[in-house]
Amino acid sequence: MERNKALEIVAKQLTEKRYTHTLGVMETAIDLAILYEADEKKAELAAIFHDYAKFRPLEEMKKIIIEQKFDPLLLQYNPELWHAPVGAYLIQEEVGIKDVEIINAVRYHTSGRMNMTLLEKIIYLADYIEPGRQFPGVEEARKLAKKDLDEALIYSVKNTIIFLMNKNQAVYPDTFTFYNDLVMKKERYVYGE
């Protein structure tokens, strides 16, 4: 699918502010794909569609989660997580995207998971560091992203977990698993195992 067609589809689903965010994620994802030798076209499309379901009504998302037998744990956590798996489903049903790598990059862009693929990592990080984001630590994450993808992800996921804990919010288990997986793989690499 061509970029302009994809953006036209997504623009109908998003607010102006979220569309601007999406453009930032797209450009960042392309830059990261070039840097880390990932498929640029897939990074572009996954970034464009990553927030496809962001503004769907909660009841519609809840219904899809139940009907499609997604992880029922999702319903116990902050609804901010829901748009990722629901979006992954809807881009298949409504847009016709069948590429599993793109679908999974959309599905895991908020929670992360164990054994993230390169594309999934790029979309997760691009969403976190795109130019419109302004929060404590984002500049450090941007610097790390230029040097070491996994280090940037460890830093970003840790920041997210700490942010949620400071607000007394529950942390979805896949996010802890993602963090642990990154750290343990890094340790194995460092210790030569």
Round to whole Å and give the CA distance between 179 and 187: 12
CA distances from 168 to 23, 126, 147 (A): 32, 26, 32
pLDDT at 193 over 60: no
pLDDT at 50: 98
CA distances from 129 to 32, 54, 57, 97, 172 (A): 11, 18, 26, 25, 21
Q: Cα 48 from chain centroid?
A: 11
Confidence of residue 186 (pLDDT cuts 50, 70, 90): confident
| Residue-wise pLDDT tens digits, 134-169 | 999 999 999 999 999 999 999 999 999 999 999 999
Confidence of residue 190 (pLDDT cuts 50, 70, 90): low
Q: What is the mean pLDDT of the chain?
A: 96
| Residues 146 and 162: beta-carbon distance below 8 Å | no
| Residues 53 and 87: beta-carbon distance below 8 Å | yes
Give CA angle at 126 (114, 136), nearest 5°.
Answer: 95
| Residue-wise pLDDT tens digits, 29-69 | 999 999 999 999 999 999 999 999 999 999 999 999 999 99
* Percentage of residues of the chain with pLDDT beyond 90: 96
pTM assigned to the model: 0.95
pLDDT at 191: 53
